Structure 1
Amino acid sequence: MATENPARSATLAVAPPPSRPPTNGGLTSEQTDAVTHVGGPLLVFAGPGTGKTRVLTERIAWLIRERHAAPNEVLALTFTSRAAEEMRTRLSSPTLLGEDGVNGLTAGTFHSICARVLRSHAAVFGRTDAYTIFDDVDLRKLLVTTLAQHREPIVAAAARCGEAPPQEVLDEIGLAKGRLWNPTVYAQHSDHISAAFIAAAWTELDRELLASNAFTFDDLITCTAWLLAEAAGIRTHYQARWRWVLVDEFQDTNAAQMALVRLLAGTGYGDSGGRLLAVCDDDQSLYSFQGSEIANVLRFGDSFPGHRTVVLSRNFRSRALVLEIASTVIRRNRDRQPKQLDAARGAGGVVRSYCFADDQDEARWITRRVSDALAKGISPEEIQVLHPARWVSMPLQRALAQARIPYRVLGSLGVLERSEVKDALAYVRLLVNPQDALAFDRAVARPARGIGEVGRRHVVESARARRIDLIAACSQASSIASLNVRQREALEQFAAGMSAARGALADGRSLTHVVQQLLAMDGGLIAHYEGKLAERTSARKRRDTARVLEDLRSIVGAVNAYELESEEPTTLAVFLEQTTPMHSRTLEGEDRRITISSIHRAKGTETLLVIVQGLEDGVLPGWRAIETPGSAVMEEQRRLFYVACTRARDVLLLTHCGRRHDRRNLKQSRFLTEAGFQTQSTGA
């Protein structure tokens, strides 16, 4: 049974569409100041719903229209491909620059821009321009393989200080790279109990990455920053090319990204960084666990002397009551730029808190509320349920499934993360980069060719010993004594298929044709699954196999779309970049479902109705924050609550339980208390 907390509520009928900033020239005075500023570095504080993206796009359009810059002299850095795509879409509208006006403009994520720079300078790091980008799954597999080989430096370090689990090793390496540390610096300065072991593993991991002609995502940033810092000629080239630099979500930058921005903007190299505009909201800084540093915002003036600050305060998204709740809580944070959001849409809104005996009651109640909202004509895309941790949403997912209400879970496996799709992409990766040992290992094993892990390792060792690529090593499998006749024949057939696709690529055939040929090769994936489809007897197995074949064909379709839509010369290496998390929407579809999402993933979104789960002490805020109530950890948890609330335009429903999973006697989140909601008893 739900207990409704009436402390904060107002009645609202079906809401009208949200008010938006006036179009094409009708900017607020603060927005105009930001758009037309030319006198030095500018830091724009843009709260939720204040028109941040509009300021960035209007700024770019103004620079180009007023002839301060040509399109190819503008660089816009974002954290998500979605943000970069939205920016380009808005700029190409007739009211701004039009389709032709954005030709040459560079807008992309930090990772994608750095990948582009490194394609031209990969040789500096011992790679070719066909290098592979290893994702988290690749990297973990490579680390586990490296650790299993018991190399002497790793064994010696483990004996001195003990080992650390693989994921912990990778997390530590990622954070250290974000600080621009190398293994030696890490070993000297880290307070981790297994620092020497992690540093040794890092060194060996880097050797394996070099041998595989590969970078990690962190490497893209750190190597580009190092390149620009150390190579004056290259630095000058990119500073001259991108004379105007704009950065979105600046509060999420880590030390490496901050260094990159400084190097591109010219600061410290005879320029004041005067052509830099950084947009941020310190109240939405959520990623310290990934190395982001709010100090980059709070000490912006130290890095960019003579800077100016503009604060956008007019919120065009949420009703006044929603903003009042969020602002009341966030004002308790000390390390922030003071600001007060003004609701352009005026008074009103619904904000209510509900208490439940347990998470099963909560799940059933949310399901009923969602069903009622859909029955009243609210679109499913206008409903999202947010949580601070994925486990919180599991009872709700079961309840929605039982009620047959379609939903999507942001962060769950998408098309690109399905095993069969990653298998197919391994073929493409190996074609592009025939030194990629992980791609080889996956492609040769799927479908099974009778070549086990030991046999595949012998092929890799043979290739490296003879200094040939892995496709060549397969074609010469007869010279690998440890392989039997069937294994040699299977490898030679695999090499023939790969070589045929390589020949088609060299002959100038379309990328679509090459990938189609690659996946349809004798003994390859399409032939394997078509054979399976013919063998299947049950309807479910046939349906599953047909879905796999459709996924494989979707890769060919994605390559075709890339060729048709790209404004630059097309290569399979760049296509592969677009299938990584930097461009995670390449094969994803949109449909009419409500959304379940972590608060972190929901950042940047807005819907009419938002329901926030898990508002108990120990969940949000978490126990680590509760143990240090005045700490930066608690302030970041408070920002998480603030972000969750400000996703709502009209209706914000906040829920908490007395018992959640195996946790009992839970109390309502102190953030609800700070917002003015009365403490409630659940009767649990």
Structure 2
Amino acid sequence: MKLTDEQRAVVDHPGGHARVAAVAGAGKTTTMAARVLRLLEQGVAPRRMLVLMFNRSAREDFQRRLAAMAPAGQALPDVRTFHSLGHRLTQSLCRWGALAPRQLLSAEWQLERLLRQASLNVLVDQQERREAALDGDRLETLAHFCGLVKAEMCSAESLFDRLDLDAESDYFPAAFHEAERLLEGEGAMTYADLLYRPLRALEADGALRERVEGFLDHVIIDEYQDINTAQQRLLKVLAGTRASIMAVGDANQCIYEWRGARPDTMLADFTATFGAATDYPLSTTFRHGHALALAANHAIMNNRRRPDQLCLAAAGNVDTCIHAGQGTRLLLETLTEWTAGGRAFDETCLLVRSWALSVPFQLALLQAGIPFRLAREDRFVFRLPLVQALAGYLKLARKPQLLHDPNHLLLLLAQPTPFIARERLVRLARHLATTQAFPERDDPLVAALKPVQRRTLKKRWELLCELPRLAAWPPAKLLQHVVTTIDAEKTLKHAAARRDKGEEDVRLLDVLIEQAQEAQDPDAFIELLERPVENQAQGVLISTVHGAKGLEWPLVAVAGVNEEDFPHYSRDNPLSDARLEEERRLFYVAITRVQERLLLLHDAGAHRPSRFIAESGWADSVRVAKALAEPSAPQVALAVTRPALIERYLWRLGREEIALRAETVNESRAGYATGAAFYPGQRLIHDVFGEGEVAAVEGNPADPVIDVRFVQAGRRRLIASRAPITSLDSVKPA
């Protein structure tokens, strides 16, 4: 087994605590397995070792790798996830009488039932709020809240004060305590309790803690940057004063802050918890080429909370191509070219910051007949209740007879939610379908409703009656009219328990209206939204970036890379420095999933391309990678925006003969690579829009406005001195 010098240093670590900072694709699984085998060679008993992996699939992969590398018949140490470790510890504490035995609620419906009951119990005197509390998204948010209380080992009240939850969720702390009472009464526990219950017992009883300490000499933990407070504290208890801890991870890939992880856990917190540690880098990636490695280094460089480490591409890695361009067109063209070259759709992945951003790409793939699959099947565009309702509004405009269909009326009355019990809406829909008239105020159907609820339903019914008269309107205009009339944006934000969920639903509205603007045939657009589609095993995978952590594909497209989408923020939810760094880490994870080809897709139009595209320095990275592929250095120094970073990279590779110079506003950043003015026909490259050709030059020659035809982004007018562009022509024609 051949190891790099950095990997060998980790394997030969002499003892004590260690931190291993491993970039994406650095071969950390092989390195960790080799470390285990080295400890076994040195006489460490397998039972005195513990390897902790982040999830079950990672554990199984590591066990396979370790068994394949180990000599035949070699006894191997325990490999566990934190939850399986907590389960074993809970069993021991139950045998000792320190914990009461409980049954694990292993199915999602069991936890949902528990939280429904807890919510109803604490809102027993607030009938209207009880209905809203049973909404699926709110129950999901409550489940996340309860799990986070236990992950962070804090009080429910202090956590609620800290989180960005809406005022309608103010019962969450009481619901947490009620859920705990129900769990105790039923003799049940959740997955979070597998760590929470034993840790509380151990921290409260010194004698009990002594019974579990001292059994380990070595603990190796993968993905350490993603562990939470409860996991770290439990690890501290188990390690005691004897065990050496080796934490393996990458603070730049810490993307689970919303569930208790912190980048500082891998940085300052480790030494604060365990003491002094030896630091080891695993800087070489075996996943992608120099262009992507350089782009990844550029992308993360603006973060303050990060390790001082470069990602280096290994010699012999496949070259990685990077392109930035506009939306669905570039994706479809690339996929066509990809399969024409004999490659398969299932070698490709489309990553999005949030599921709403996948909608235009789902529709484009449907129209193009390209198979695809979703990491979560409930996120197929036609299965989203809000999409079904908006398609239903369009359909009603084309088919007035649907005013007599109670099921169709129920769909439109219920989405977006009017905060009224479904049973009541069912009865009202039947009444409207039969009578075609909204009931009077004293009618039992609406008498018990608040005035604002009656007005909401009446306005919605009047809209439904109006729609057939608007059948000639274009789909986009009709949808905008519906959204405005029912005040959909305000309703969606009010209905969401989390601000980011409400904003994602509002973004979904925007996406659908934008897609409708391109529809020429209303009936065809309705059919597209209603088309029944199932996951295609051999199709393009669509996933969120969070869901892609730890995975890789030959071709990766990152979609919706726009300001306000990625990074995600809004006027009501501005970016803090900490949130911007988390978003940047998420972008870093997204682009480092690729092996051969990366597409950065923005929407253009009203959505400005994300700052992350320019920050990645992808155009500079591609040029430097091309220079590295040549047998001799370029005769002319390469103009780049961050020469210090690239010089450091070249020094690490031993390729210092490639000369660089900083771009200046008056030179290549303004297009003056040779000191000459712009001219029609000049070829340029833009950090966001890619390659293009100057079509016209207007205004002051010292600071002109240039009209550029970009290959992927179409025609753009740019102020030359402010545009992140570089000339590709070395000499101006006579």
TM-score, shorter chain, exceeding 0.5 = yes
Code of the aligned partner of 2:110: D
Give the drift of 1:194.
7.4
Asked if the contact 1:367/1:396 (under 8 Å) is kept, the reply is no
Distance 1:58 1:237 in 2: 31
Matches within 5 A, 1:251-270: 251-266=225-240
Code of the aligned partner of 1:296: T
Identity in percent: 28
Larger relative contact order (Cα-Cα within 8 Å, sequence gap ≥ 6): 1
Give the drift of 1:369.
2.3
Number of residue pairs matched? 463
Matched, 1:622 2:563: no
Matched, 1:675 2:616: yes
> Secondary structure, in 3 states, of the residue corresponding to 1:318?
coil
Matched residue, 2:195: 221
Cα 1:626–1:310 shift into 2, 3 Å:
farther
Matched residue, 1:142: 114
Q: Deviations over 1:526-571 (max 9, x none)?
A: xxxxxxxxxxxxxxxxxxxxxxxxxxxxxxxxxxxxxxxxxxxxxx
Asked if the contact 2:373/2:537 (under 8 Å) is kept, the reply is no
Code of the aligned partner of 2:286: F
Cα 1:78–1:185 shift into 2, 3 Å:
same
Asked if the contact 1:134/1:215 (under 8 Å) is kept, the reply is no
* The one of 35, 56, 61 aligned to 2:11: 35
Matched residue, 2:26: 50
Asked if the contact 1:320/1:345 (under 8 Å) is kept, the reply is no
Distance 2:356 2:161 in 1: 37
Asked if the contact 1:350/1:652 (under 8 Å) is kept, the reply is yes
Cα 1:32–1:632 shift into 2, 3 Å:
same
Distance 1:599 1:143 in 2: 28
Distance 1:626 1:280 in 2: 34
Code of the aligned partner of 1:363: T
Matched, 1:335 2:305: yes
Distance 1:155 1:241 in 2: 52
Matched residue, 2:249: 280
* The one of 596, 602, 623 aligned to 2:542: 596
* The one of 346, 365, 374 aligned to 1:400: 365
* The one of 89, 93, 112 aligned to 2:64: 89
Matched residue, 1:203: 177
> Secondary structure, in 3 states, of the residue corresponding to 1:145?
helix
Cα 1:274–1:201 shift into 2, 3 Å:
same
Matched residue, 1:344: 314
Asked if the contact 2:252/2:263 (under 8 Å) is kept, the reply is no
Give the drift of 1:88.
0.3
* The one of 260, 271, 292 aligned to 1:301: 271
Give the drift of 1:605.
1.2
Q: Deviations over 1:342-361 (max 9, x none)?
A: 211358734433433xxxxx
Cα 1:310–1:354 shift into 2, 3 Å:
closer
Code of the aligned partner of 2:577: S
Matched residue, 1:654: 600
Code of the aligned partner of 2:62: M
Asked if the contact 1:33/1:310 (under 8 Å) is kept, the reply is yes
Could you tell me which runs of 5 or more consecutive residues in structure 1 were left unpaired when the two chains were aligned: 1-23, 357-361, 415-588, 660-664
Distance 1:658 1:621 in 2: 15
Matches within 5 A, 1:85-484: 85-93=60-68, 95-98=69-72, 100-103=73-76, 105-122=77-94, 127-128=100-101, 131-149=103-121, 165-183=138-156, 197-232=171-206, 234-266=208-240, 271=241, 274-299=243-268, 300-345=270-315, 349-356=319-326, 362-363=327-328, 365-412=330-377
Code of the aligned partner of 1:106: D
Q: Deviations over 1:161-217 (max 9, x none)?
A: x99954443333222222112447658988976787322211111121123322112
Give the drift of 1:413.
6.1
Matched residue, 1:462: none
Cα 1:198–1:339 shift into 2, 3 Å:
same
Q: Deviations over 1:29-48 (max 9, x none)?
A: 22122112232111110111
Cα 1:320–1:186 shift into 2, 3 Å:
closer
Cα 1:353–1:667 shift into 2, 3 Å:
farther
Could you tell me which runs of 5 or more consecutive residues in structure 2 were left unpaired when the two chains were aligned: 380-534, 618-685, 690-712, 717-734
> Secondary structure, in 3 states, of the residue corresponding to 1:658?
coil
Code of the aligned partner of 1:671: F
Distance 1:674 1:196 in 2: 39
Asked if the contact 1:625/1:631 (under 8 Å) is kept, the reply is no
Matched residue, 1:425: none
Distance 2:301 2:319 in 1: 21
Asked if the contact 1:657/1:682 (under 8 Å) is kept, the reply is no
Cα 1:169–1:601 shift into 2, 3 Å:
closer
Code of the aligned partner of 1:596: I
* TM-score, with length taken from structure 1: 0.61
Code of the aligned partner of 1:372: E
Cα 1:399–1:125 shift into 2, 3 Å:
farther
Code of the aligned partner of 1:412: E
Cα 1:350–1:155 shift into 2, 3 Å:
same
Mark the structure with the bigger radius of gyration.
2
Q: Deviations over 1:70-97 (max 9, x none)?
A: 2x3221112221110111001111x324
Distance 1:188 1:368 in 2: 48
Give the drift of 1:303.
1.1
Q: Deviations over 1:419-456 (max 9, x none)?
A: xxxxxxxxxxxxxxxxxxxxxxxxxxxxxxxxxxxxxx
Code of the aligned partner of 1:674: E
Asked if the contact 1:411/1:601 (under 8 Å) is kept, the reply is no
Distance 1:597 1:166 in 2: 23
> Secondary structure, in 3 states, of the residue corresponding to 1:385?
strand
Code of the aligned partner of 1:319: G
> Secondary structure, in 3 states, of the residue corresponding to 2:600?
strand
Distance 2:221 2:571 in 1: 30
Code of the aligned partner of 1:644: A
> Secondary structure, in 3 states, of the residue corresponding to 2:377?
coil
Asked if the contact 2:226/2:262 (under 8 Å) is kept, the reply is yes
* TM-score, with length taken from structure 2: 0.58
Distance 1:288 1:647 in 2: 20
Distance 2:271 2:9 in 1: 19
Distance 2:357 2:199 in 1: 39
Distance 1:620 1:163 in 2: 31
Matched residue, 1:516: none
Distance 2:355 2:161 in 1: 36
Give the drift of 1:334.
0.8
Asked if the contact 2:371/2:536 (under 8 Å) is kept, the reply is no
Distance 2:536 2:212 in 1: 37
Matched residue, 2:45: 69
Give the drift of 1:232.
4.3
